[in-house]
Chain A
Amino acid sequence: MPRVTPTSLRKELFANPLDGLVSVLLITGLAAVGYRLLHWALTQAQWAVIQANSTLFAVGRYPIEQQWRLWLLVALLVAATGLSWGVLRGLPLRDRPITALWPRNDRIGAIVLVALGSWAPAALGLTLSIQVRWWGLTGLLLLMRWLAGRYGSRLGKAATRALPLVWPLLYLVGMVLIGGGLGLVPVGTNEWGGLLLTLVEASFAILLSAPLGVLLALGRRSSLPLLRWGSVLYIEFIRGAPLITLLFLGQNILGFLLPGGLAPDRIWRAAWILTFFSAAYLAEAVRSGLAAVPRGQLEAARSLGLSLPQALAQVVLPQALRIALPATVGQFISLLQDTTLLSLIGLLDLLGTARSVMANPLFLGKSAEVYLTLAVLFWCCCAALGLGSRALERRLNPPSLGR
């Protein structure tokens, strides 16, 4: 892997006079903007609006006496992240070294996280007990990452393959913890809000739209005309309509379309609409992956006696999904950002909560602080998704000559 050295930097940025000029201008511009932003954030901005409302931003009006359930869920999520991270980094890299400047490797990611985890809670002026919890969570992440890296190789292939299943499983556990049931006090969806609601909606849609998108992509390439035309119609209808119209439409008609138990209220209706919306785009990503797998692969599998489902599951889809992975994660990232539209249909997701806070006369004129915080939060989530997918991608490429 090429290292960033002063020489390599000079070669990349100042190869010839024109490059050098552009680089100098860009660096000056960036430095100026960065300095002003930092200056503003550290001296002028009044972060009291964030400090006073941090719980609201995080979980909305979720009852305080039940919040331990969310802390437990966060701990589980952090543990699963550390586990996946540790196992993933233990797998061999299978592509050529890439020359991108950033991120150099996952150690930098870990260092940034530790810095954030130990500094941010203090900087935000959270109470000591909460600060301690965040430090504990950071420690847990590092511990799981280290354990998985240390002992992950002993897990064996089957366990490594089963690892992704931790996430859907965790979703179910999370739903019980958040919503109650199984002996826990129920907490109605009208009390979920903030980042909690945003993540519940986005993860529901991500988990369900993935299989749905694969089915639609297969349907679109099927030899059965009815299936093919049905899939095409669905995909093109969804892709032709703006999400916000679908969200409004869904609030009205989803009650009739889905069995009542599946979409009992506005929050679940919105989650289904996000799912259906995302599935159509995923189908196109998967379709391009399917198209990139040579025809001979299916023929070879079939001539060995594999049935069509076996051939798809063992031969075609593993290759197609690997090719479609970057586009798929790109879709997940825009899905996460699209959840902000939920505020327009009156849900108190992260943006909805922020708008309600800014409407409070106490915090008038503090929108820059609020929006910047939101942007940073979203950016962190999307960066994590993007980095994870890149790490995965680089380990899924089959090795070939000259690599």
Chain B
Amino acid sequence: MTAESMPANAMVPKSPAMIEARGVEKWYPNGFHALRGVDLTVQRGEVVVIMGPSGSGKSTFIRTFNALEEFQKGSITVDGIALNDDRRKIDAIRREVGMVFQQFNLFPHLSVLDNLTLAPVLVRRRPKGEVLSQAMALLERVGIAEQAHKFPGQLSGGQQQRVAIARSLCMEPRILLFDEPTSSLDPEMVREVLEVMQGLAADGMTMVVVTHEVGFARQVADRVVLMADGQVVEEATPERFFDHPQHERSRQFLAQIL
């Protein structure tokens, strides 16, 4: 990030939007221009689905929201906090932003329960007992309370992903990012994960979801965003996007996945 690309003060009025990305550009160290001026606004309580062909920069983009990837131009504000090189701000943002990965990334050396309680105890410094009961309640909610004392390697893919969601929720984030949460699951397990996500949306969680699950997008998303070649091509309600896509690129993409 260059200094001149960021508003240098922290007195930006608290924006009503949960995520505000403006003209984000990113080059990978090898020179590849992965994001070419991406804009996106996510309102509180909104569910935004990002779609697009492989390599279009979807993962790169949502990973900039919690600073897993840095970017060189443009600005991103998360929950009113401007993302820049300031360590403390990055830490603050990561506490508020949960992320669910395609490969689950559970900690294999910790039990399911310890996976959930690790961060709240360590980062939020909450008392262990309180976190434990919250963790059990969350596991109940995603339907795997009886697995609490097992290890991730002993669970099915769908169960692991639900644990991963519960783990994020245990930090009480204001927004959840999903990067293809069902792409590495067997078909019969996709539904159990999507149902959990649907429940979260119904409870008003702000979510940005990279997925190719059209059914989920139609039912749950407030908006669908199509990315291609590091840019946003189309942004519309699910009905408009799937039934009357405006751009040639969108039609091509939908022809492939539908």
Where the two chains meet, the residues of A that have a C-beta atom closer than 8 Å to any C-beta of B are 294, 296-297, 299-307, 310, 314-315, 318-319, 322, 398-401
B154 at interface (Cβ–Cβ under 8 A)? yes
Which of B66, B105, B167 has the most chain A CB atoms inside 10 A of its CB? B105
CB-based nearest A residue for B106 = A300
Binary flags per residue of B131-160, CB closer than 8 Å to A gives 1, else 0: 000000000000000000011111100000
A165 to B153, CA, bound (A): 29
Query: Which 6 pairs from chain A and chain B are nearest by CB?
Result: A400-B153, A300-B105, A304-B119, A296-B105, A305-B123, A303-B99
A299 to B95, CA, bound (A): 13
Q: Chain A residues with Cβ under 8 A from B109's Cβ?
A: 318-319, 322, 398
Given contacts A314-B122, A400-B153, A401-B153, contact A305 B91 (CB under 8 A): yes
Q: Chain B residues with Cβ under 8 A from A306's Cβ?
A: 118-119, 122-123
A398 to B123, CA, bound (A): 24
Tell whether, in the assembled complex, residue A319 and residue B105 are in contact, meaning their CB atoms are under 8 Å apart. Answer: no
Tell whether, in the assembled complex, residue B103 and residue A304 are in contact, meaning their CB atoms are under 8 Å apart. Answer: no
A22 to B94, CA, bound (A): 63
A344 to B66, CA, bound (A): 58
B171 at interface (Cβ–Cβ under 8 A)? yes
Q: Chain B residues with Cβ under 8 A from A302's Cβ?
A: 68, 94
Binary flags per residue of B71-110, CB closer than 8 Å to A gives 1, else 0: 0000000000000000000010011011101010111110
B211 at interface (Cβ–Cβ under 8 A)? no
Output the least CB separation between A305 and chain B (Å): 4
Q: Chain B residues with Cβ under 8 A from A307's Cβ?
A: 91
Tell whether, in the assembled complex, residue B105 and residue A299 are in contact, meaning their CB atoms are under 8 Å apart. Answer: yes
Tell whether, in the assembled complex, residue A305 and residue B119 are in contact, meaning their CB atoms are under 8 Å apart. Answer: yes
Tell whether, in the assembled complex, residue B105 and residue A297 are in contact, meaning their CB atoms are under 8 Å apart. Answer: yes
B206 at interface (Cβ–Cβ under 8 A)? no
Tell whether, in the assembled complex, residue A304 and residue B154 are in contact, meaning their CB atoms are under 8 Å apart. Answer: no
Which residues of B in the span 192-209 have a Cβ within 8 Å of any Cβ on A?
none
**Which one of A294, A301, A310, A400 lies within 8 Å of B151 (CB-CB)?**
A400
Number of A-B contacts (CB under 8 A): 72
**Which one of A303, A315, A318, A400 lies within 8 Å of B98 (CB-CB)?**
A303
A284 to B199, CA, bound (A): 47
A401 to B167, CA, bound (A): 21
Q: Chain B residues with Cβ under 8 A from A294's Cβ?
A: 103, 105
**Which one of A299, A314, A319, A400 lies within 8 Å of B68 (CB-CB)?**
A299
Output the least CB separation between B171 and chain A (Å): 6
Tell whether, in the assembled complex, residue A399 and residue B151 are in contact, meaning their CB atoms are under 8 Å apart. Answer: yes
Q: List 14 A-B contacts (CB under 8 A).
A: A296-B103, A296-B105, A300-B101, A301-B107, A302-B94, A303-B94, A304-B118, A305-B123, A306-B119, A319-B109, A398-B109, A398-B153, A400-B151, A401-B155
Tell whether, in the assembled complex, residue B151 and residue A305 are in contact, meaning their CB atoms are under 8 Å apart. Answer: no
Q: Chain A residues with Cβ under 8 A from B182's Cβ?
A: none
Tell whether, in the assembled complex, residue A304 and residue B153 are in contact, meaning their CB atoms are under 8 Å apart. Answer: no
Q: Chain A residues with Cβ under 8 A from B101's Cβ?
A: 296, 299-300
Q: Chain A residues with Cβ under 8 A from B94's Cβ?
A: 302-305
Q: Chain B residues with Cβ under 8 A from A300's Cβ?
A: 99, 101, 105-107, 164
Beyond the given pairs A299-B101, A310-B123, 19 more chain A to chain B contacts, judged by CB atoms under 8 angstroms and listed by A's residue number, are A294-B103, A294-B105, A300-B101, A300-B164, A301-B107, A303-B97, A304-B98, A304-B119, A304-B168, A304-B171, A314-B118, A318-B109, A398-B108, A398-B109, A398-B152, A400-B153, A400-B154, A401-B153, A401-B155
**Which one of A305, A315, A322 lies within 8 Å of B171 (CB-CB)?**
A305
A329 to B68, CA, bound (A): 35
Q: Chain A residues with Cβ under 8 A from B99's Cβ?
A: 300, 303
CB-based nearest A residue for B68 = A299
Q: Chain B residues with Cβ under 8 A from A322's Cβ?
A: 109
A305 to B171, CA, bound (A): 9
Which of A299, A304, A310, A322 has the most chain B CB atoms inside 10 A of its CB? A304
A294 to B108, CA, bound (A): 11
**Which one of A303, A314, A315, A399 lies within 8 Å of B154 (CB-CB)?**
A399
Q: Chain B residues with Cβ under 8 A from A296's Cβ?
A: 101, 103, 105
A307 to B90, CA, bound (A): 10
Output the least CB separation between A72 and chain B (Å): 38
Binary flags per residue of B103-131, CB closer than 8 Å to A gives 1, else 0: 10111110000000011001110000000
**Which one of B68, B106, B155 lies within 8 Å of A303 (CB-CB)?**
B68
A315 to B164, CA, bound (A): 15
A59 to B66, CA, bound (A): 60
A132 to B151, CA, bound (A): 48
Q: Chain A residues with Cβ under 8 A from B91's Cβ?
A: 305, 307
A394 to B110, CA, bound (A): 16
